[in-house]
Chains A and B, each alone.
Chain A
């Protein structure tokens, strides 16, 4: 009998060899923070995929998500050994994405850890990935029930989509306090009394981001990788645009008409295959269409990663990520900087108040600490300059930030018009907080959809 061929194996070896060669070059950047919990997973996957006998694994798995935080806390509270189990104030967090996404969710998660580390007697628990793609059958209410079951007395929910869920859960648990980050239930009056709102004035961060993009761009073509369309994302796009326009005119001394600003919305805060546009694709497409700065508005870092690849391929492309202080790590050299949230300090104050029984329902929209926007103990938002920014442009950014800090630069001042030509802010006037918060449209001059 003829034996099966060696050729097949040769073919295979050739391919594997080729691929193996990929790695001889230094492996591409990896996000440093919090990847530890993942380590053991993949080996199991490979061994077990042969036979379909999974159930034992299956039962162990789901509990892990809830066990993890407990593990994390076991190590930390050494600072406050005096507090007994019973006095421990447990606060929980419901996150829309994974805690280590290098973006929005990681910023929140680290805010929670910051509280636990700096407010003695507190313990942090969480449930992450509460979204239709990752946990199709889990609602915010269920996540809240779970956290309450574990003893949480204060609960943070971190996504605009969680508004209704948070309100319902809060109504069901009047003795537990809720913080709905990025929401406005208190402002609109839809939220029960035990809910408070907190958001950072990221508009400033985005203005700085837009300014950095306009300063560094070679051709004045800026692209914004947008998530879903709502008032929050619209006002952030507008702020980015205004910052870019200002710096383009003032510092680059170029006419406004030469600045191109395009938004493509992917449809959610991150990629959900089959539901959203693929941000990787959108980003590569921006680049091939000749946009040379990608400004990210989504929770994850595809914009930066793709721009980095293109830059390695010899194109002059830069990116501005979003949300998380270390987001630039995915592509240091082409990162112009990152506007980020720093939730910890305000979380501490609010949780401390709630623990002391002084909870107050507020709609808070906090700006940076203008004396030092990167002071991690006081500033709600900040902007870290990236290595992609030239020194000269870095100095201009500092100047721009100083101008914003002094308050004499009001970018949301008239005359400003919406895409459909209607007036947003009249000449001589400055938009009010509520007008900005509820931005109904993109500004004239921005290319992209205003409504879903």
Chain B
């Protein structure tokens, strides 16, 4: 039991950077902009956050730097795609590559240098509660922040007027425009805030969960974050679930290494990614039109309950995701 609680606690902790990254991507995509630069942004955030924290010996400044770097990347994306009308996917992809190489290049002086990290901070009384205390309240501030971020994002998107506007941008920007909303400026805003969160995700790795910096330190996490957003159907809670699932898979893979000796270690490192892709494929399959036809061919009494389940699982992307908006 102890073991299990500790494991769950480490899953909750391990998913923290992914939570930041996915919530950032989620906000951006809900506003109709697809930010493919995530992987590069996370790396840049990790590198910049770590180097600055090391230089001035201040972890918070490291996070602020990472957030600013993330914002800059998002700004470039927005400027090229929203203002200059270039393809969001192409620009995002190039930015991802740029971030990867640039971070390796600029981060060279701090490669594998020991540095500062987020201090551990159990919450006094709450951490004494059996099981729950160990799981939730024996972490550091960054991880507590990741716990809060999910409900906060949900509340913002689904319970505030601004959230509604933001979602309208992703679904039907024309309608939002008709209601007198400056689509481009809003999208800029959403993307930059999202980018900041993504940058923080990077620093969350380099200053906390994967301390330090090295060449391609966060390896592929941005792409996984993008996949998890799709898996979660652009809904904060489900996206968070995806993050925790992925973190659990990673830890499970590491565990299996000890028991299944004959299998090369690389298999275990790649396994979570492969499993994630499979889950993604499955979810998309369920959401596909073929599935609709299959349901229609089912016996009558089964049709509506199956359709209900499928509709619950399948979550469509924001309708205007990735599409340029032109003033009518």
B-contacting residues of A (Cβ < 8 Å)? 1-9, 11-12, 14-16, 18-31, 35, 37-46, 49-52, 54, 57-58, 61, 64-65, 97-98, 100-102, 129, 133-134, 262, 264-265, 267, 270-274, 277-278, 280-282, 284-285, 288, 290, 299-302, 305, 309, 312-314, 330, 449
The answer to whether the Cβ of B271 comes within 8 Å of any Cβ in the partner chain is: no
Q: What residues of chain A lie closer than 8 Å to B98, measured between beta carbons? A: 52
Q: In the complex, are the beta carbons of B162 and A7 less than 8 A apart?
A: yes
Output the residue of B117, B122, B218 with the most chain A CB within 10 A: B117
Q: In the complex, are the beta carbons of A98 and B113 less than 8 A apart?
A: yes
The answer to whether the Cβ of B229 comes within 8 Å of any Cβ in the partner chain is: no
Q: In the complex, are the beta carbons of B114 and A12 less than 8 A apart?
A: no
| A29 to B118 alpha-carbon distance, docked (Å) | 10
With A27-B59, A58-B105 in contact, do A43 and B52 touch (Cβ < 8 Å)? yes
Q: In the complex, are the beta carbons of A15 and B200 less than 8 A apart?
A: yes
A5 interface neighbour in B47, B99, B165, B180, Cβ under 8 Å: B165
| A7 to B121 alpha-carbon distance, docked (Å) | 28
Q: In the complex, are the beta carbons of B113 and A31 less than 8 A apart?
A: yes
Q: In the complex, are the beta carbons of B214 and A271 less than 8 A apart?
A: yes
Interface residues of B in 133-161 (CB under 8 A from A): 138, 140-142, 144-145, 148-149, 152-153, 156, 160-161
B120 interface neighbour in A27, A280, A313, Cβ under 8 Å: A313
| A129 to B107 alpha-carbon distance, docked (Å) | 13
Q: In the complex, are the beta carbons of B145 and A2 less than 8 A apart?
A: no
The answer to whether the Cβ of B15 comes within 8 Å of any Cβ in the partner chain is: no
Please name the residue on chain A nearest to B67 by beta carbon. A16
| A277 to B47 alpha-carbon distance, docked (Å) | 20
Nearest CB of chain A from residue B297's CB, rounded to whole Å: 45
The answer to whether the Cβ of B89 comes within 8 Å of any Cβ in the partner chain is: no
Q: What residues of chain A lie closer than 8 Å to B57, measured between beta carbons? A: 27, 30
B138 interface neighbour in A22, A45, A102, A314, Cβ under 8 Å: A314
Q: In the complex, are the beta carbons of B189 and A27 less than 8 A apart?
A: no
With A26-B119, A309-B120 in contact, do A41 and B110 touch (Cβ < 8 Å)? yes
Nearest CB of chain B from residue A200's CB, rounded to whole Å: 22
Q: In the complex, are the beta carbons of A100 and B113 less than 8 A apart?
A: yes
Q: In the complex, are the beta carbons of B189 and A4 less than 8 A apart?
A: yes
9 closest Cβ contacts across the A-B interface? A5-B162, A42-B51, A23-B60, A42-B52, A273-B219, A31-B114, A50-B72, A20-B60, A312-B120
Q: In the complex, are the beta carbons of A301 and B141 less than 8 A apart?
A: no
A7 interface neighbour in B160, B215, B254, Cβ under 8 Å: B160
Interface residues of B in 68-95 (CB under 8 A from A): 68-69, 72-73, 75-76
With A42-B65, A285-B255, A314-B122 in contact, do A49 and B216 touch (Cβ < 8 Å)? no
| A77 to B216 alpha-carbon distance, docked (Å) | 38
Please name the residue on chain B nearest to A301 by beta carbon. B114
A-contacting residues of B (Cβ < 8 Å)? 3, 6-7, 10, 27, 44, 47-48, 50-52, 54-55, 57-61, 63-65, 67-69, 72-73, 75-76, 98-99, 102-103, 105-122, 138, 140-142, 144-145, 148-149, 152-153, 156, 160-163, 165-166, 179-182, 185-186, 188-190, 193, 196-197, 200, 209-212, 214-220, 250-251, 254-255, 257-258, 261, 265, 268-269
Q: What residues of chain A lie closer than 8 Å to B65, measured between beta carbons? A: 42, 46
Q: In the complex, are the beta carbons of A277 and B181 less than 8 A apart?
A: no
| A299 to B52 alpha-carbon distance, docked (Å) | 24
Q: What residues of chain A lie closer than 8 Å to B73, measured between beta carbons? A: 49-50
Q: What residues of chain B lie closer than 8 Å to A18, measured between beta carbons? A: 141, 144-145, 148
Q: In the complex, are the beta carbons of B48 and A288 less than 8 A apart?
A: no
Q: List 26 A-B contacts (CB under 8 A).
A: A2-B179, A11-B156, A21-B60, A22-B60, A22-B142, A23-B60, A28-B116, A31-B113, A38-B54, A42-B51, A42-B52, A42-B54, A45-B48, A45-B69, A50-B76, A61-B105, A102-B113, A102-B114, A134-B111, A271-B112, A273-B219, A277-B268, A281-B251, A302-B212, A309-B117, A313-B122
Q: In the complex, are the beta carbons of B106 and A44 less than 8 A apart?
A: yes
| A11 to B152 alpha-carbon distance, docked (Å) | 8
Q: In the complex, are the beta carbons of B51 and A38 less than 8 A apart?
A: yes
Q: What residues of chain B lie closer than 8 Å to A290, measured between beta carbons? A: 3
Please name the residue on chain A nearest to B190 by beta carbon. A8
Nearest CB of chain B from residue A80's CB, rounded to whole Å: 30
| A273 to B180 alpha-carbon distance, docked (Å) | 48
